[in-house]
Chains A and B, each alone.
Chain A
């Protein structure tokens, strides 16, 4: 399998706090990888490093075999065209109606005409199970689950090669969470994209991933196929997936 994204020894600290302490991870083309880990373990910083929103202090990041670690300006924008991202709180632009949110990357990022972009936006909304009547609503009129769907439609609007999902099911009721999981699996399969998700919801992780990697104290301490997660032989992983308070992972009350 070709490698789509590779992280080599990525390090990042904010002030005194070391967040990433040498992350190594390879993600194959068309693979769906879930990164699990507790709050503050550096999951978000990992994917933001790949996007270039956070600049790593050390290490290298490759996308399609080309190093992207220090790109900025136009070169960074060109790489970002391969990506789509669903944010934790959906991060919809509340000054714009739903369809313009979905079409944003097409209109602003790629200079497509508004009429054509709107048609594509409505088609993408249909893909995530939303009717065209939603298109002209403001994001604040939607429920949390619907906002997530619009966020997903926006992420896939420009047919990206890589999709990132940041806590896709957090804050949703179990049924809506499962709907989002199904949507993620089907979009990843249909579009043939490479996906990285970060979550601490194990039900979701098992359902949407081919492979799971666990991040702890800024390092990947275990990774393997999803079916092996229950027999990882790693006591940190065991404690995490069973949600036990007792074990090698000590909750740091102060970050």
Chain B
């Protein structure tokens, strides 16, 4: 009986958490359309979330593209199909790896930072202070981060796509003996706008997940430094899992019709 009781209790806790997250999401999204818009904060968040994520996203995309080219070459070699490298690289990067890798890197960087900042504001009563100064904390803190992440993630992924393909191109031409012009022509002929666009749609969804989970964890942190640490961990773990789950869901929606 005890096992059933504890499983049941865990399940109830899980449902309560889902309920809280849903309520938070609804209040955040409905705040987006209501004035005022904090332009200054939005611009600041675009810089923090988008611009400063460029180096880390670019570097990971470059190495991923390179490793991908190498693997496809080695694997293709078993069937005498090594010439397929440019096509598979561009497909893999634009459809899956670009958005997922950028999403996970930004989750580590940005979701953690958002949760730590908002969590500290929560435990030092700065969020209550916002309320007493007639400012809605959700509008002031959550909305700029949500909009900035949804806007900048597709741009980051578009850049990651180009750098990833470029990584594959470097490896293929420098160490696998591909002709540069042929490689680029094969890439350009093969990739479709649907491949790229689907990746960008994923990116926008991932941006939403990252900012939402960062803000949600921060808002609900309690109990000093330890609580803020827990919020930061939760933000990264939950946004990473949600990104991978959403990625599967989006792939099945976008590519099986």
**A interface residue numbers (CB < 8 A to B):** 48, 51-53, 77, 80-81, 83-85, 87-89, 91-94, 104-105, 108-111, 154, 164
Contact = CB atoms under 8 A, between A and B. Distances in A.
Contacts of B135: 104-105, 108-109
A232 B136 CA distance: 43
Contact of B131 (A80, A84, A93, A110): A80
A110 B128 contact: no
B12 interface: no
Contact of A85 (B38, B124, B132): B132
Nearest to A78: B134
B110 to A, nearest CB: 16
A104 B133 contact: yes
Nearest to B117: A95
B129 A111 contact: no
B2 to A, nearest CB: 21
Contacts of B129: 85, 87, 91-93
Contacts of A94: 126
B146 to A, nearest CB: 18
A77 B124 contact: no
A77 B136 contact: yes
Contacts of B36: 111
Contact of A109 (B121, B124, B128, B133): B133
B178 interface: no
B133 A108 contact: yes
Given A51-B128, A80-B133, A84-B132, 15 more contacts: A51-B131, A51-B132, A53-B132, A77-B134, A80-B132, A85-B132, A87-B125, A88-B125, A89-B125, A92-B129, A93-B126, A105-B133, A110-B134, A111-B36, A164-B132
B131 A52 contact: yes
Contacts of A109: 133-135
Nearest to B132: A85
B140 interface: yes
Question: Which of B131, B133, B136 has its CB near the most chain A CB atoms (within 10 A)?
Answer: B133
Chain B, interface size category, equals 10 to 19
A170 to B, nearest CB: 13
A83 B133 CA distance: 8
Contacts of B128: 48, 51, 53, 87, 91
Q: What 7 pairs between A and B have smallest CB-CB spacing? A: A109-B134, A105-B133, A91-B125, A91-B129, A85-B132, A108-B135, A77-B134
11 contacts: A77-B134, A80-B132, A80-B134, A83-B132, A87-B125, A89-B125, A91-B128, A105-B135, A108-B38, A108-B135, A109-B133
B169 to A, nearest CB: 42
Contacts of B124: 89, 91
Nearest to A81: B134
Interface in B97-155: 121, 124-126, 128-129, 131-136, 140
A8 B128 CA distance: 23
A102 B132 CA distance: 13
Contacts of A83: 132
Nearest to A79: B134
Interface in B1-45: 36, 38
B99 to A, nearest CB: 30
A53 B133 contact: no
Contact of B134 (A48, A87, A105): A105
A46 B124 CA distance: 18
A110 B121 CA distance: 22
A164 B133 CA distance: 13
